[in-house]
């Protein structure tokens, strides 16, 4: 008799925030088609088509005034905007994620870039961290829809965390994106403090420049966003010198 498998859905809740993620575990209960088991990534055009369908009726542009005040009080920025699909793909092509990489989106909104990175690259884990409960819940909704379309690799993980990026743990990141256009300098400095502790060689893409000088800027890309036809995306790398400086 052939081996069988069961899709196991984990909903985890932790103090200070919620975690929601999917992966597949082998069991002897019911079969998962071979073509699903072997998925690593899918063609970009197919990924766009599937994500467009998943995100029909899902938007992160409207949240309550109460939630806006909560985000601001926590030191975040409630203003919303997204990197366009084509721009995200150009950025991924530049960053060249591999099967050994862990991708994080800090301030992931409704999770589009997180799922795009998961579907179109070989990253072993793709994670979104979002403070807005409304946007987090919409990201989870999109994640569930993606899982229902059998688009998950049994050896990789996609996950969303409803947490503050200042206190969240993303210490395993090797590629980080942050749509930081509206972030305050104080918030950028706090993010930089966490980024310099990451593994040397970690790549960071930010829509706002870091002023600390402890991250090495290696490139500036010009890419369209939902609010602009040309926005700067600053690419940084964590160097060993930064690790020594913080010691």
Q: Between these two residues, 76 and 4, which has the higher pLDDT value?
A: 76
Cα(121)–Cα(98) distance, integer angstroms: 7
CA distances 60 to 29, 80, 132, 152, 177, Å, are 38, 7, 9, 24, 18
pLDDT at 158 over 60: yes
The three-state secondary structure class of 96 is coil
Q: Report domain extents, the chain.
A: 40-246
Homologous superfamily assigned to 40-246: Vaccinia Virus protein VP39 (3.40.50.150)
What pLDDT shows up at residue 116? 96
If you average pLDDT over residues 219-236, what whole number do you get? 95
Angle at 229 between CA 183 and CA 133, to 5 degrees: 40
C-beta atoms surrounding 16 within 10 Å: 10
pLDDT band at 245 (very low <50, low <70, confident <90, very high): low
Give the Cα separation of 8 and 6 in Å (integer).
6
- Flag whether pLDDT at 97 surpasses 80: yes
CB 150 within 8 A of CB 127: no
**pLDDT over threshold 60, residue 85:** yes
Mean pLDDT score of the chain: 82
What whole-number distance in Å separates Cα of residue 223 and Cα of residue 216?
20
Helix (H, G, I), strand (E, B) or coil at 27: coil
DSSP output for 77-142: ------B-HHHHHHHHHHH---TT-EEEEET-TTSHHHHHHHHHS--SEEEEE-S-HHHHHHHHHH
Q: Which residue has the tokens 């930064």?
A: 242
Query: What pLDDT score does 243 carry?
Result: 53
CA–CA gap between residue 119 and residue 40 (Å, rounded): 8
Tell me how far apart the alpha carbons of residues 98 and 88 are, in angstroms, rounded to a whole number: 16
pLDDT in tens, 13-71: 333 344 444 443 322 222 223 333 334 578 999 999 999 999 999 988 888 889 888 88
Lowest mean pLDDT among 135-144, 165-174, 179-188, 196-205: 179-188
Q: What is the pLDDT of residue 81?
A: 86
**With bands split at pLDDT 50, 70 and 90, how would you rate the model's confidence at 75?**
confident
pTM score, two decimals?
A: 0.82
Q: What is the pLDDT of residue 40?
A: 53
pLDDT of residue 41: 78
Q: What is the pLDDT of residue 15?
A: 30
Query: What is the rounded CA–CA span in Å between residue 113 and residue 4?
Result: 32
| 176-222: pLDDT as tens digits | 999 998 888 999 999 999 999 999 999 999 999 998 778 999 999 99
Question: What is the structure's pLDDT at 197?
Answer: 95
Q: List 25's β-bridge partners, or say none.
A: 6
Estimate to the nearest angstrom the gap between the alpha carbon of 213 and the chain centroid. Answer: 24
């Amino acid at each position: 008799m052939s081996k069988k498998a069961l899709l196991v859905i984990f909903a985890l809740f932790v103090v200070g925030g919620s975690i929601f993620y999917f992966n597949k575990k082998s069991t002897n209960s019911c079969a998962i088609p071979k073509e699903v088991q072997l998925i690593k990534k899918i063609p970009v055009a197919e990924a766009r088509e599937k994500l467009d369908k998943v995100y029909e009726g899902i938007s992160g542009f409207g949240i309550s005034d109460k939630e806006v005040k909560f985000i601001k009080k926590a030191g975040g920025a409630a203003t919303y905007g997204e990197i366009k699909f084509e721009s995200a793909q150009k950025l991924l092509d530049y960053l060249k994620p591999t099967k050994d990489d862990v991708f994080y989106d800090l301030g992931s909104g409704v999770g589009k870039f997180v799922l795009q990175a998961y579907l179109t690259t070989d990253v072993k884990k793709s994670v979104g961290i979002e403070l807005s409960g409304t946007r987090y819940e919409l990201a989870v909704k999109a994640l569930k829809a993606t899982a229902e379309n059998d688009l998950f690799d049994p050896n990789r993980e996609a996950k969303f965390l409803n947490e503050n990026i200042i206190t969240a743990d993303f210490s395993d990141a090797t590629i980080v994106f942050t749509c930081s256009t509206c972030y305050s300098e104080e918030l950028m400095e706090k993010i930089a403090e966490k980024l310099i502790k990451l593994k040397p060689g970690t790549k960071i893409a930010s829509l706002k420049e870091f002023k600390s000088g402890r991250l090495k800027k290696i490139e500036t890309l010009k890419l369209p966003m939902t609010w602009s036809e040309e926005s700067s995306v600053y690419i940084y790398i964590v160097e060993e010198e930064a690790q020594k400086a913080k010691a």
